A and B are shown apart, each in its own frame.
Chain A
Amino acid sequence: MASVSKRYPVRARDFLHAGEASIQIQAFLKAMGLDAGLIRRIAICSYEAEMNAVIHGGDGELEMTLADEWVTLEVRDAGPGIADIELAMQPGYSTADETAREMGFGAGMGLPNMKANADELRLESAPGRGTRALMVFRREAAGGGAP
């Protein structure tokens, strides 16, 4: 089975470039002719995870793999990690600082948005161990939309 991967560096606190990788992934998937609803879900997840790494995490990497039957997103960062993942997943929970809030982040909706839009979300994190968000999208589910 043919698959293609794209990898982008993500830099902590680099707000001038934050989100660029996700915009490029969105453009690439459009060029590949994927279903518009599926691209939307992938782009939202990618952007939320990328912004989380920039805002709360540390330097890391965003990797997207397009295969015949699925698309995966993996966002890894070497930041401080998340102590209580269940709490972080609660809609409205946020530790975003003033700088992030001035740019419109800190609604505490990023992780819930990722959960709603991905067919599968795995969040691995521990204090001092960084964070890894893995998301899977089934291509045949295209157009089904998020719950």
Chain B
Amino acid sequence: MKLSEIVRELEAVALTKEDCLEREITRCAGSDLMSDVLARPTEGILLLTGLTSIQTVRTAKIAGVAAVVFVRGKTPPPETVALAKAERLPVFASPLSLFVCCGRLHARGMTGLDGRR
């Protein structure tokens, strides 16, 4: 899916500059455990998480994640958004739960990190 379609599907708002919405992303992970994310093939994926601390941005950066969506309507603290901007990591906020976000993207054909549905 294009990032722009993902954002629409998740009713999300952009917290960083929207300049990479044409990017295609096919794989997605939903996790609140950072080392679990780092243990898997995360290059170019979408990360859905309820964790809004600055460490989410650093973990995403180390893992090569393409974009992050904060779920459950959480507003990340200013330092999280500031670092995402500085590191050019697109981050979004969705009012939907992790479960509903996953369900909607799965229904649109996105896969898990190993390509399975």
Contacts and interface: CB of A to CB of B under 8 A. Distances in A.
Interface of A is mostly: helix
A113 to B, nearest CB: 5
Interface residues of B, number: 23
Contacts of A36: 43
A105 B56 CA distance: 10
Interface string A128-140: 0000000000000
Given A40-B64, A44-B62, A104 B38 contact: no
Contact of B35 (A20, A102, A109): A109
B55 A19 contact: yes
Contact of A23 (B34, B51, B56, B61): B61
Contacts, number: 71
Contacts of B49: 104
Given A103-B51, A104-B51, A47 B59 contact: yes
B53 A113 contact: no
A19 B38 CA distance: 13
B63 A104 contact: no
B72 interface: no
B24 interface: no
